Structure 1
């Protein structure tokens, strides 16, 4: 069985010419519009394309025939207008839908990290629809237009704007330009002119635009700037063998001269190295010796598919008939098959002719290699399928790209370079999302990625801090007032030294307890004061070291109670001095208080009051472990939280009230005839004590972390040293250095000291 084909003799370049030829054909068959005078069962199949406008004219003209006797198949790019079943019920487009083309192009753009793209399209319905698809995909993926050239179809209008379109391309910072539209329009004229002028851009096109520069002598180095998307097609069985039989001598050179033929090349690594090292003239010789996967362009695949389907229909029809001679059939049978049948090739590719069920196209991605002597090769560098899961739809052959470009990365095309680590993006008003400035991250915030989707800096967690480059959060070191710390070590040595001194003074007083100077100063109160000072000097050891729940409670409570004992003892000593010198006659009530030991009760009462305050403190809001992650940039300081600040200051205030009372009483008794000036020493000790703790308050609040702890420890030591030095050092001086003054005679001699 053979199929007969008829071709129009005229080379139709304009729609008016095509319409005239169809009208002439209609008249020749004596058919009147909407009326068929001749009864016939002949079915005519019309193949039109590649321009959709030509197919539209043919489709309208076919209405003059009996539509049931005509089937129109179109090749060329899929067009939504031609898929309208109401206008064209008997028209079938061979090409699959290109609705996924925009997605495929954006996937490729994202793979190479481009976001600043130029677009040149035909200013017609087809181009505008593609622009709509492209805008939708770009918005989803943060890709922006550097410019959009909408090339008018009208030649006069195009010529008046051609320079403007050219200037947009050469002045744009975008290195990537998408070309989409009709190949026989003013857009094609622009594209050929731009390429001939050597504009250094990466052109992204469809297979209709991948015609290599067959009339130019391009070198290999200038040939890798075109990326073309072609519909994925199965291999045509036996086609390669047929082509090789056309010219047994130099088949590849012969085939390369055919304008309708392109080559798909699967280049191996070894061949790539061979080709890379070859000269321009040697490249052609190398190509002659290679075996290529030769294939049609998309339009010719569509033509092949159309013929294949018609042949398939006749074959199935005639297989069921006994006598096919002179048989003619109605096109309704062919229409029925085309609308319902899913044609499957031998290699497994499915073809669906029902326009409503048309599958989205899958694409092979090619890089155009132009060689001298007009030889062009399409090298397949990847593929795209919309039916794969998101993120797996695009697959590129990285080794081929690396060889062709010297790197797996293409020429960059971005509006603004990605902000480096430590910076954040800043958009000015009126700027697109792809264009931005870079500002340093705020303090303690980082950005450790250069991805274009990372717009803000991230604040480091409280237990981490930003490094100097602000690209990484580093864990903070945990610190506290430790014994190894220089400050902690100094305070420890001071506490140990003064503890030893206090113990020595206590030992001296115990050893010389029968001497007049010890007896005259009420040795029981002196012992009490020295023991309380001994504990005061040991209190810092509760503040130094790693805090825990026990030490946090003990350090404040012990400090509060022990210091109360010390200050109340000073108060008792002061009261004792006053009572001793105010007793002028035996039998008076003051003498009774002095001899009965009434001043000693002051210690117990004052200590009881402070103990009650501490108990309330523990019950309401006791001290606990706290962390200070803000004072030091790189450190987390572990400190003891005071709990209730009010009760903490109540304890300090109670100390101050006792000290103030002692100071007032001692000040009033400063001029009493005391040989050893006990009242004066007490006055000066309380003055020093009050000075230390008054200074403590502002200093304590102006410091943070372990320095705050050190200030409190130093205040404890300083005030304790003040009491020890002012009250006991003069007496120790007399006992140890001037023992001749430690006698009853000298005690009675008021002028001897």
Structure 2
């Protein structure tokens, strides 16, 4: 040890002397504690020293008689922290359990000395100095050699352990910290003799994010200490949140270094208050954040949920229960139940531990003892059957806390090491020298670094931080209903060893939310997009902030918060809510449809009517009106009209390759025959009136039957066109999934539209030629002149197909087919009605006009006039 260090310590001890003497109390007639008697002591062959924060600054307002707190304690402005006294009891329980065990430390007992750790960077050294080096001694090797203390317990705050560790490492005292794992204490160059009993928080980020995902909280704030020891959690937490699409609403780093940070908190108050994030993750040690949060606790909106690590202790902070942040969910390290600890606490009494000043202090404050000086042992005025079990759980909990469990493991670690050293020393000693000497503290380190054992509760204890197991977490919730209950309840558990997806188990019905609220709080930037909607990111904002836009036509989103809609297959369609793809119904003009049935009936009726007319003409084939208009052409025209009406049936029913080819080819050919027959009849009429005069050259055309060649020639041309159509791009079966919602139209694709319009155009040219000739011959004088009827028939035919084209192209699905069928029927009916209806009328009803004598008389009279 350097001279400068020794000089500093000597100067410090001189200052401490004044403090020690000022704390000494002497009352006549009673046995009172001196300053050095402010401790808890149990004698043993090997001693374990403990430095615990048993006092806190301030007066305990929870006690109705506040004057009881103003006593002669080591710090006259401090209040006794009831909950921290469990540390002393855990130490005593573990030592008594080991001393009673015949299988460990045979013929050797453990003892302890516990002192309070006072506040301040300087005063924290006071009791460790006096305990380890004596009241007036300067610390050096000779003084340390006579000490019975083998190990030192410090905690739970890392800063306290660090301060004391700078002293203990000078003499390589094994120092055990029982508070939360602190990365700052892992520096083995700075703290070579320090061992942390708590497990690392290696899974705390995963555990917290799992809880967020369980409640669908994706919009949270983060609050942590600005100290370097707590900043390690931020990158891990953010990475885990990003991986699971949880966004940080705001991030707040604060420290306990004065009013500057309070001003900083006030600066971001509006951001916190107006934020839609109702969940706040807090990670840090108790003292650095908790007192500072008292300042802003009443300012923030109500109903916030706090997710905290186990370093926070809210049960002794009653203002949390009175304000808005009264929904804490705490992640505490899980540990097995230690058998007998609760019964041990219930049996604790000051008379059983007369050298425990802190127990006397607790008893005096809790069980209506006399108003005498609490530094004196006066038990007569106290309740004789009093027990710590009487105290409210938020004041003193008899179940073992996580920090107490670490103390319990520390004692067993020291005992295991001493036991191994005892066995080792026994093996190497000679038979004549069996006396075992207490090892120096430095001799424990080689054994401590490699120790690994199972404690009586069944948990594995490993001191090497590199080999520590990942901890499991208990999720705690504080119940405060009825008000003041402040009961810490386990509502869930997180195990990193479980299968993914089963790591978190939670009983939601056990969680007490805000007072007057039974529903789980929500904390989202944007409400979830339900089925049928997709997320649209808001520019410049976090990924959790988005708008919900409906899916486009024939697209669905069957889940929540989908980023992209899924397009339905061609044989499917999206329902009205756009959350499900449904099978499309096949749509075609079926015979069973009302429209298809009507058209089929019309086609059959017209074909039957045409057949009837054909029968009438055959029956009256010798009459003048039948003979006068070329009965062969009339028969051909009637037969072709029958096929024209029947070919419309090919357009009805479910299309297939055969029907698709036949319907277009049959339509083109039979109508070509019909129109060429009309054209032949028109030419025959023109030739007949031109050839009646003697000496006409065209007479031989009429006599030779030249008009009859019009039909095969015109038909051959159309057949050639159809052949080219079939050879290049024939019609085929096709589907249309877009024209009708919810239906897939089965239709015949024309194949080559050019060929289709060539066929249709050729029919139109024949009709136009027939119409022109018939129109020119309409006024020729003759009783049986049918030129007028042919003119009207062609006018109807052309009108139907000129109307057909725009209507056909604007129609979809079965309506388009119906338009084509109707056009076929209408044009065929026009030919049948305009040409043959007047003739049938004459044949059936005007038989007197159906003779040749009238025709001959008129011709004879005209000849006489010319002669």
Do these two structures clear the TM 0.5 threshold for a shared fold by scoring above it? yes
Contact 2:300 2:324 in 1 (8 A): no
Deviation by residue 1:114-172 (Cα, 9 ceiling, x = unmatched): 12222222122233222222211111122223332322231121333454465554443
CA contact (8 A) 1:675 1:750 kept: no
Match of 2:475 in 1: 365
Cα distance in 2 for residues equivalent to 1:623 and 1:408? 68
Secondary structure at the aligned position of 1:242 is classed as helix
- Distance in 1, matches of 2:848 and 2:564, equals 83
Normalized against structure 1, the TM-score is what? 0.85
In the TM superposition, residue 184 of structure 1 has moved relative to its aligned partner by 1.2
Q: 2:76: which partner in 1?
A: none
Q: Determine the C-alpha separation between the residues in 2 that align with 1:192 and 1:494.
A: 92
Aligned-residue offset at 1:463 = 3.2
- Say if 2:595 is the partner of 1:492: no
Say which of 618, 622, 626 aligns to 1:514: 622
User: Taking structure 1 as reference, are residues 246 and 594 closer, same or farther at Cα in structure 2, changes over 3 Å only?
Assistant: same
Map 1:677-696 onto structure 2 (within 5 A): 677-696=785-804
Q: Is the 8 A contact 1:26 1:64 kept in 2?
A: no
Cα distance per residue 1:94-123 (max 9 Å; x no partner): 111113112111111111121222222212
Note the C-alpha offset of 1:30: 5.7
Structure 2: distance between partners of 1:5 and 1:374: 37
How does 1:324-363 map onto structure 2 within 5 Å? 325=435, 327-329=437-439, 334-363=444-473
The aligned counterpart of 1:299 is 403
Change (3 A) 1:241 1:549: same
2:109 is the alignment partner of 1:4 = no
Q: What is the CA distance between 1:530 and its match in structure 2?
A: 0.2
Aligned partner of 1:394 in structure 2 is 504
For residues 612-632 of structure 1, give each alpha carbon's deviation from its aligned partner in whole angstroms, at most 9, with x where no partner exists: 322332333332222222111
Shift of 1:555: 1.3
Please state whether the residue corresponding to 1:638 is helix, strand or coil.
strand
User: Aligned pair in 2 of structure 1 residues 196, 721: CA closer, same or farther (>3 Å)?
Assistant: closer
Find the aligned partners of 1:737 and 1:173 in 2 and give their Cα distance. 94
Instruction: Kindly report which structure 2 residues correspond to 1:661-740, keeping only aligned pairs within 5 A, or say none.
Output: 661-740=769-848
TM-superposed deviation, 1:42: 8.8
Does residue 181 (structure 1) correspond to residue 293 (structure 2)? The answer is no
Counterpart CA distance in 2 for 1:110 and 1:299 is 29
Unaligned runs of 5+ in 2: 1-43, 52-114, 350-383, 427-432, 862-867
1:7 deviates by 4.6
- Mapped to 1, the partners of 2:298 and 2:200 lie a distance apart of 29
Would you say 1:121 and 2:224 are equivalent positions? yes
What value does the CA root-mean-square deviation take over the aligned residues? Answer: 3.5
Is the contact between residue 245 and residue 543 of structure 2 (CA under 8 Å) also seen in structure 1?
A: yes
Residues 2/175 of structure 1: CA separation in 2 closer, same or farther (3 Å cut): farther
* 2:688 corresponds to: 580
Pair 491,402 (structure 1): closer, same or farther in 2 beyond 3 Å: farther
Q: Secondary structure of 1:6's partner?
A: strand
Of 518, 539, 544, the match for 1:434: 544
1: CA distance, partners of 2:434 / 2:201: 40
Residue number among 314, 337, 356 corresponding to 1:211 in the alignment: 314
TM-score when normalising by structure 2: 0.75
Q: Deviations over 1:420-461 (max 9, x none)?
A: 343333333222222233333333433343x3x423433343
Aligned equivalent of 1:56:
162
Give 1:704 deviation, angstroms. Answer: 0.9
Q: What are the equivalent positions in structure 2 for 1:95-244 lying under 5 Å apart?
A: 95-164=198-267, 167-191=270-294, 194=297, 199-213=302-316, 225-244=327-346
Matched-pair contact (CA < 8 Å) for 1:213–1:374? no
Structure of larger gyration radius: 2
1:402 CA displacement: 8.8
Selected match of 1:314 from 408, 412, 418: 418
Report the equivalent of 2:84: none
> Residue 710 of structure 1: CA displacement?
0.7
How far did residue 217 of structure 1 move? 12
1:630 matched residue in structure 2: 738
- Say whether residues 1:646 and 2:779 are aligned partners: no
Please show how residues 371-450 of structure 1 align to structure 2 within 5 Å: 376-401=486-511, 410-449=520-559
- Equivalent residue of 1:633, what SS? coil
Alignment of 1:534-553 (within 5 A): 534-553=642-661
More off after superposition, 88-97 vs 668-677:
668-677
CA drift at 1:633:
1.4
1:458 equivalent in alignment to 2:546: no
Pick the aligned partner of 1:245 from 347, 352, 371. Answer: 347
Per the alignment, residue 38 of structure 2 pairs with none
Q: Which runs of 5 or more structure 1 residues have no equivalent in the other structure?
A: 264-293
CA distance in 1, matches of 2:139, 2:748: 106
Deviation for aligned residue 1:214: 6.7
Q: What's the offset of the Cα at 1:245?
A: 2.6
**How many residues end up aligned between the 2 structures?**
712
Q: Which range moves more in the overlay, 523-532 or 209-218?
A: 209-218
